[in-house]
Amino acid sequence: MADLTGTTVAFLLTDGYEDSELTSPWQAAVDAGATPVLVSPAEGNVTGEKGHSQKVDLPVSEAKAGDFDALMLPGGVGNADALRLDTDAVGFVRNFFGQHKPVGVICHGAWILADTDVLAGRRLTSFPSLQTDLRNAGATWVDEEVVVDQGLVSSRTPDDLPAFNAKLVEEMGEGKHEGQTA
């Protein structure tokens, strides 16, 4: 496992996220030595689909991709749908790609990528219901446990979390990827 000491990871989410898709990658980042920060358009706490509640550390309207080393986008239908409609969230995500930084997306978390203009020529996976949106945004969608494409790490469901977490930590340890572009 990569040593991520000194690495700061933004977790972008709002109410309605899939609980395990926050808590499991968060713990993997902590276990590797990274500092996770919960970024959200919501204030106070955010609550997952199954009731997990966690404090928001930073409003997305004040967050800057330059202050972080990597980005993690958990899924959850309500969370993903709300984020893609938030212009601050869309801009925040796009800036990680423009700065060539690692980005992890799982399940419905990939939905916002269809609105960021970063998918042309990229290969990824997601929850199957997103494949048409992601293909329409220029991506090659595949049905695999975990897909890595130049710093973009993607998986389908919570069942994929062990493989996803390992690859996410590995990509964060590698740092910037020139092929990770907006």
Q: Where are the beta strands (DSSP E) in 43-164?
A: 45-47, 53-55, 58-59, 70-73, 103-106, 123-124, 140-141, 146-149, 152-155
* Domain boundaries, given as residue ranges, for the chain: 8-171
Q: Would you call 107 a catalytic residue per the annotation?
A: yes
- Beta strands 53-55 and 123-124: pairing type? unpaired
Cα–Cα distance measured from residue 160 to residue 138, given in angstroms and rounded to the nearest whole number:
24
pLDDT tens column, 44-55:
999 999 999 999
Q: Report pTM.
A: 0.97
Region 8-171: CATH code:
3.40.50.880
Three-class SS state of 66: helix
Q: DSSP of 161-181, one letter per residue?
A: HHHHHHHHHHHHHH---TT--
pLDDT tens column, 73-89:
999 999 999 999 999 99
Q: Evaluate the CA torsion angle 136, 110, 124, 126 in order and state its sign.
A: negative
Share of the chain above pLDDT 70, in %: 100
pLDDT tens column, 134-158:
999 999 999 999 999 999 999 999 9
- What DSSP element (H or E) covers 40? strand 35-40
